[in-house]
Each structure stands twice: as C-alpha cells, then as structure tokens.
Amino acid sequence: MGQAANRVDRKEVRSRSKQRQKNMQKLMWVTGGVLIIALIVAVAFLKPADKQADPNSFDFNAMATLGSKDAKVKIVEFGDFKCPACQVFSQDVEPQLKAEYIDKGLVSLSFMNYPFIGPDSRTAALAGLSVYHQNNDAFWKYYDALYKNQPNESEIWATPDYLVQLAQSEKLDIDFDKLRSDIENETYADQLSDQMSRVKPLGVTGTPTLFVNGTKVGGADAMKYDAVKAAVDKALAAVEEAGK
C-alpha cells in the first residue's frame, strides 16, 4: 500500500512539475511579448520627427550657391525644375529670403537636384549643372527663368532645344554650344548621381525639401515663408549662442 501511494505521489509530483514548466513557458512568452511591444513603443517615441544632416557633410564648393559661402546659416534646397511646388518656393519664398537674409550676408542658399517627376526632369537637371559650372550667377538667373516659364508637369517639355533656347532668351553669360553639348553628352551625370544618392539617407521624399543648417524643413512648410523664416531665425540664434 505504501509503495502504491509513493507511485501515485511521484506521478503527481511529475504532473505538477510539468504543469509548472508549461506555466513558466507561457509566462516567458507573455513577458517577452510585453518587452518587445514596450521596446517598439520606446523606439517610436525616441525617433526624431525630422531627419537631421551635418551641415559640414554638404560640399558647398560643388553646388550652385546664392549668397556668401561664409554665411552663418546655410540652406540646401533639394529641387526638381518640373516641380510646381518648387515653383512656389522660387517665386514666393526665395525672393523674401534673398531680401531679408541672403543679400545681408547672413544666409546662403545652395541647390541640389532631385529630378523625380519625369524623364525630362533629369535633362533639366543636367542643363542646370552645365550652366552652374560655367557661371554660378548665371545659374540663379536660369533657375528663376525655368520656374517662371515652367509648363505643366505632365508635359515632356525640358528638351535640349527648349533648355538651350531659354538660356539664350535670358542672355545668360555662358557658352550655349557647350550647354547643348553638356546636356546631350550628359557631362555631369556623375555629379547628378552623387546628389541623388543623398536623397534617401536624408529622408527626402519630395521637393522642395530644405535643410537649414542641417535641420530639415519639408512638405508644405518649405513653401511658406513664415515657416522657413522661423527655421532660419532659430539657426541664427543657435549660431550666436554658440559664439558667446
């Protein structure tokens, strides 16, 4: 009788042991799931709202720049010459920036290409690079003319003929034969590829996208002068504070 009772006790012990193991496994799964969820939530809260860029990572000597390269605040614009939103920036925001900050030596504006709207966006970008490499000041005149005369984005309009004719009508101080040759031979294709390689790492998803001393200003804010001005003033204040 005692041996039978011992066998029953051992069976019960083993049964309880197995049940405890199952309970522990369930607890571990539940705890692990909770920890994973907590980690995901923590990462979501810690993730910055906007991408930041090291201002020194931009090669300003290889970009068309409006204003002093020694300006305290440097703005980098990613743009597409076929982009209607970029047209808004060029006509509504850039002139005010120029009058209030750029002409006073406080801010500079540099341009990087992100041609994504159509195949002729790339053609226009190559034309812009050709003009820039011939004459930085002529680039900004060309920049204004391209946006001012911008046809509908659904049209294929940025052809070599159109781009050269526009440069001629604006009487740019450049070699027009070289402009055509640079477009057709894609002279600056490597530089264009290098500029486009910056898009994804910086989280650029559309144009215009600005980086004001490395701080991203994108979306609708890039088309509102007050929003851009606020970012510029904040950057100027940070520079002044750092210099004290």
Where does the pLDDT of residue 57 fall: very low under 50, low under 70, confident under 90, or very high at 90 and above?
confident
State the Cα–Cα distance between residues 197 and 61, nearest whole angstrom.
Answer: 18
Per-residue model confidence (pLDDT) at position 201: 96
Where does the pLDDT of residue 31 fall: very low under 50, low under 70, confident under 90, or very high at 90 and above?
very low
Q: Is the peptide bond before 84 cis (omega within 30 degrees of 0)?
A: no
- Which helix (H) or strand (E) element contains residue 142? helix 136-148
Q: Residues 181, 167: contact at Cβ < 8 Å?
A: no
Per-residue model confidence (pLDDT) at position 30: 42
Tokens representing 102 are: 């750029």
pLDDT tens digits, 61-71: 999 999 998 99
Per-residue model confidence (pLDDT) at position 4: 45
Where does the pLDDT of residue 53 fall: very low under 50, low under 70, confident under 90, or very high at 90 and above?
low
Can you give the pTM of this predicted structure?
Answer: 0.78
pLDDT tens digits, 159-217: 999 999 999 999 999 999 999 999 999 999 999 999 999 999 999 999 999 999 999 99
Helix-helix angle 176-185:160-169, to 10 degrees = 160
